[in-house]
Structure formats: structure tokens, C-alpha cells
Amino acid sequence: MPNSFGGLERAVLDVLWAAASEDSWLTVREVHRALVGREVAYTTVMTVLDRLARKEQILQQRAGRAYTYRARASRSEMIADLLHGTLDEFGTHDRQSALVAFVEDASADDVEALREALARLERP
């Protein structure tokens, strides 16, 4: 799957998304501290943040001698990008059947959310 994330990458993204509501840029140390309940080395968190920045999944900026990080997009925007990327990777000829298969396997709540989203898009 394109742009799939490992467990630690998802946990780091969760920390950045939680801080995004405050429009905060976090240091490696702040992300490391926020990973409560995980036995992970500081340098591992630094590596994960660097890797996510190189994959352009998060933003990185210089702050003195260190870097700070924040989410590039909201959780829902990133999920939408992943879905679009997956559909694009397999070409347009299977796009409709893939969407139909997705909806057929979707929960009632997901189908209702899709209906509401489509209705909002159709309103002038």
C-alpha cells in the first residue's frame, strides 16, 4: 500500500495531530515525552520524524540548532490523500469497481457518512 505507516510512525503522527489544534511546532524531545507508555529511544523518535519529513508527510523547520515538526495536514486530509494515492496507483480502469467494493464492505455508519458528504457536495 502506498504511504503506509508503521506503528511508531502513526503514534508520532497522533502526537503531531494532537498539537495541531494549538498550531504548535514540536521538538523531538516534546514528541518523545508525549509517547507515553512506549519504550522508545529519543534517537529513534528523531529518526522517525526525519523519515516522515523526507517522505513529506510532516513539516520540519529549523529552530536554532534543532528542528521542530508539525503535521503537514489534518488526519482526515492525510487519510484522503492515502485513499487517492491508492486509487491512482492502480489506474483509472479499476477505480469504479474499487469504490463499489469499498462501499459494499463499509459499515452502515460509513455508508451514512458517505451519503451525507455527497449530499453536502451536491448542495449549491
Contact predicate 59/53, CB 8 Å: yes
pTM across the whole model: 0.76
Tell me what pLDDT residue 99 has: 83
Contact predicate 85/3, CB 8 Å: yes
Tell me what pLDDT residue 61 has: 95
Contact predicate 44/6, CB 8 Å: no
Strand partners, 27: 68
Tell me what pLDDT residue 54 has: 94
Q: Is 73 left (phi over 0), alpha (psi -120 to 50) or beta?
A: beta
Q: Once rounded to an integer, what is the mean pLDDT over residues 11-38? A: 90
User: Is 2's pLDDT higher than 50?
Assistant: no
Question: What digits encode the pLDDT tens for the residues 31-74?
Answer: 999 998 889 999 999 999 999 999 999 999 999 999 999 999 99
Contact predicate 68/29, CB 8 Å: no
* Mean per-residue pLDDT of the chain: 88
Of the pLDDT bands very low, low, confident and very high (cuts 50, 70, 90), residue 1 is very low
H helices of the chain, in order, are 7-20, 28-34, 42-54, 75-89, 95-105, 108-122
**CATH code of the domain made up of 7-71:** 1.10.10.10
For 115, the grid coordinates are: 451519503
User: Is 8's pLDDT higher than 80?
Assistant: yes
Strand partners, 68: 27, 61
Higher-pLDDT residue of 87 and 43 is: 43
Q: Once rounded to an integer, what is the mean pLDDT over residues 11-26? A: 88
Tell me what pLDDT residue 51 has: 95
